[in-house]
Amino acid sequence: MSVVLLGREYASRQGAPVIHAVDPAIFTLRYFSRCLDCSFCNDQCCDHGVDIDADNAARLLALGDDFARRIPVPHSEWFTTDSQHDAEFPSGRYVRTQVRNGKCVFHVAGGRGCAIHGYALEKGLDYHPLKPLVSTLFPVTFEHGVLVPSGEVIDRSLACAGSGPTLYRGARDELTYYFGEGLTAGLDALEQLDARQPSAAGM
């Protein structure tokens, strides 16, 4: 992986992660970004659990019965019980959402999309404090302070990979929300520079 260092560090509004570099592949790799308009993936990105900050998990558990009734398993089965230490998560710890019947427990049972996101929109709430950061940024992710493509895009196992906007364009608004306009202004400049490189057209 070849990365480009940024001129400074950009901390998430939650304190972590802190971004200092980017893999320029996010400017060239593409995917079908209109998630709920997709008719061919069967919500494949929800087939696995996702890492979620421990404090984020606690916020979901505190939502009460109105939210809990939408999830087809009891609270005790929402997350893995072993938390992992990781400084790239705001609380310094994360757990993972469980998988039941081939989908993340927070997938809308018998429907489409994320129950967390749908609940927040229905209630007029900001989904960012509730939805896992990794899910919100997907298919861009972070590793050791570097913005990188999610692995499923790299290995082409993601059903919607290959056509549509670039990973960066699809995730740009969320990157701005979490890391500020300074980051995306810098990434915009790198995107334009990358587009002028002879190799970019062939990727």
Burial (Cβ within 10 Å: 0-12, 13-18, ≥19) of residue 75: exposed
Give the closest residue to 71 by CA, choosing from 43, 99, 44.
99
Q: Is the pTM of this model over 0.85?
A: yes
Give the closest residue to 106 by CA, choosing from 134, 139, 147.
134
- Other CB atoms within a 10 A radius of the CB of residue 32 amount to 19
- The mean predicted confidence, pLDDT, of the chain is 89
- Of the listed ranges 56-70, 131-145, 161-175, 186-200, the least confidently predicted one is 186-200
State the pLDDT at residue 36.
53
Query: Which residue would you say has higher pLDDT here, 39 or 48?
Result: 48
pLDDT of 25 > 90? The answer is: yes
State the pLDDT at residue 111.
81
Query: Rounded to whole angstroms, how far apart are CA atoms 96 and 50?
Result: 5
Question: How many residues does the structure list for the chain?
Answer: 203
Rounded to the nearest 5°, which phi and psi values hold at 153? -80, -40
State the pLDDT at residue 42.
58
